[in-house]
Amino acid sequence: MDRTDTSDPSYFHKVVDCQWACPAHTPVPEYIRLIAHGQYTEAFMINWESNVFPGILGRTCDRPCEPACRRGRIEEKPVAICRLKRVAADNRGVVDHLMPQIPAQKNGKRVALIGAGPASLTVARDLMPLGYDVTLIERDPQGGGLMRKNIPSFRLPVAVLDEEVGRILDFGVTTRFGEEITSLKAVLDEGFDAVFVGTGAPRGKDLARVPGRAEADANIHLGIDFLASVAFKHVERIGKRVVVIGGGNTAMDCCRTALRLGADSVTVTVRSPRADMKASDWEIEDAEREGIPILDNHSPKEFVTENGRLKAVVFEKMRAEYVDGRRKLIPTGAPDVVIECDDVLMAVGQENSFPWIERDLGIAFNEWEEPAVDKETFMSTRPGVFFGGDAAWGPENIIWAVAHGHQAAISIDLHCQDRDLQDRPPPETNLVSQKMGIHEWSYDNDISDEARNLVPHADPALALRDLSMEVELGFDVQQALDEAMRCLNCDIQTVFTDDKCIECDACMDICPVDCINFTQNAEEPELRDGLRVPALNHAQDLYVSGDLPTGRVMVKDEDVCLHCGLCAERCPTGAWDMQKFLLKEAKAAPIVPADPQEQPYAAE
């Protein structure tokens, strides 16, 4: 294999699995370390810069970082990254003075953002410091989009939402709430320099072809519409017996909301096997903890009505068969299951829809009525019109919308300044030795070997009857410290300098996870198989040195490295060094000072 090129920032970035997996590339280990130090404000600001909604995401993120966490590969469970983010938000001090300065003198460019969800709010946050005149248009009376309408307040308190949305609006965004957009042409005619469409995926899918659907319409509700009605207090009760159809996170929110609106029995039914459910594991756990049964392999067959009222739902039992990796659901022939109920909540998916975009504006749509959006620039086929969030490619989650917003903001800025949209700014990276003394590092390598901490929950007797009582209480300061100490510091890179190595083997001998090898070079497959412990996880790179004096090379399998620094401590010549790799994804505008240690935030 060739010598690893560590000057390419993506090499070390990839080692930081959590940050690499995060769509917004939040520097996770950096803020976890700050939480361990009790520097919650700094930890909050790192999050706020990257993902804009630390308090919201600390409760609701889909956490792509956690399945990626290296800790999950050396023991059972990953670090509770998401819940630590919440700790930073819950315990932070005053941050008003740390917010970017908004120029009083605007730059003369006007940008319209349609839809006030996380994507549009991110664009607003990134563009306001540059002096753009930003107008936010939303049909609902308040901002937040799905975060307000579809996430129940027992998971995300309204106060947290209001604060994080308000922080952006307070930059001086012009808001036009309660304005239903019926024509994109009308918006374009207002003469904006750029328009960003962040209208989400607001249309719930239906099961129109199931017999009895029309007759039972009065008692069948689309899940996301139901949640929105509850959020805006248009709906305050539901029948005693409720069936929720669907296996995604919306279904989990629907069933738990129904319980709190007074339902006595709530049943979730899913067509597919449980393993294929789309809901996050922890959301399924939360629903089941509240006593809600989840019946898998139940496909709705008929809605039964009596005297014009819904009486029951009939389900056909299914089983899954996998042919060439494709799943087919096949009826088992077992007797149908009849579940009597008063109301049905349908959460079988959602999609974006653009009846309000005229098709003659130069915005191309494909055969499924989806807009053609460039994956990198987020611009549609009409220059100056951008899409992001669920509006671009269908339902994802908040953190993806934020990532889209950052990129769209960069594109909008480039577009408004008449610059090439492909000329995108590189990420800001930094690699600094952590050596303090002979065996002292400026990071804490003495990690905890305890299992993942569980987040305490509110008393279910109270929580199940109160729509706005937050179920998860969050970690307290001690639990947060315990959990933070589980982080392996994967951003502290093991950096190897070939010409300092005397091949004494000390690093190889001390490595607790046998990831360092000195061996004859070979092609990658051969090299992977021949290591002390074969490197079977091909998603993780090998770090290969140049030729050493004996003709061998150093090969490190990055897979389960603990970043404990013992290799560097046992190295007599300093060929190994522990260096902190900090990568900040480029934003349209600088948000916070580059290095919090160089420019400390004012103490509270």
Binding site for another protein (CB under 8 A): 73-75, 439-440, 445-447, 449, 502-506, 508-510, 512-515, 533-534, 536, 549-550, 560, 562, 564, 566, 569-573
Least distance in angstroms from the C-beta of 251 to another protein = 34
Cβ distance to another protein smaller for residue 103 or 534: 534
Least distance in angstroms from the C-beta of 21 to another protein = 20
Cβ distance to another protein smaller for residue 176 or 532: 532
Least distance in angstroms from the C-beta of 557 to another protein = 9
Cβ distance to another protein smaller for residue 388 or 565: 565
| Chain centre to alpha carbon of residue 588 | 20
Assign 440 to helix, strand or coil.
strand
Among candidate residues 239, 210, 209, the one with its CA nearest the CA of residue 311: 239
Residue 587 and residue 126: Cα distance in Å, rounded? 7
Cβ distance to another protein smaller for residue 397 or 445: 445
Least distance in angstroms from the C-beta of 128 to another protein = 45
β-strand partners of 197? 114, 387
Cβ distance to another protein smaller for residue 158 or 536: 536
For 290-356, give the secondary structure using H, E and C: CCCCEECCEEEEEEEEECCEEEEEEEEEEEEEEECCEEEEEECCCCCEEEECCEEEECCCEECCCCC
Least distance in angstroms from the C-beta of 532 to another protein = 8
Do the Cβ atoms of 552 and 520 come closer than 8 Å? yes
Measured in degrees and rounded to the nearest 5, phi and psi for residue 401 equal -60, -40
Least distance in angstroms from the C-beta of 577 to another protein = 13
For 350-397, give the secondary structure using H, E and C: EECCCCCCCCCCCCCECCCCCECCCCCCCECCCCCEEECCHHHHCCCC
Among candidate residues 569, 449, 558, the one with its CA nearest the CA of residue 509: 569
Cβ distance to another protein smaller for residue 445 or 545: 445
Do the Cβ atoms of 471 and 458 come closer than 8 Å? yes
Least distance in angstroms from the C-beta of 280 to another protein = 24
Cβ distance to another protein smaller for residue 264 or 505: 505
Least distance in angstroms from the C-beta of 74 to another protein = 5
Cβ distance to another protein smaller for residue 220 or 511: 511
Q: b/e per residue, 3-28, with b = 16+ CB within 10 A?
A: ebebeebebbbbbbbbbbbbbbbbbb
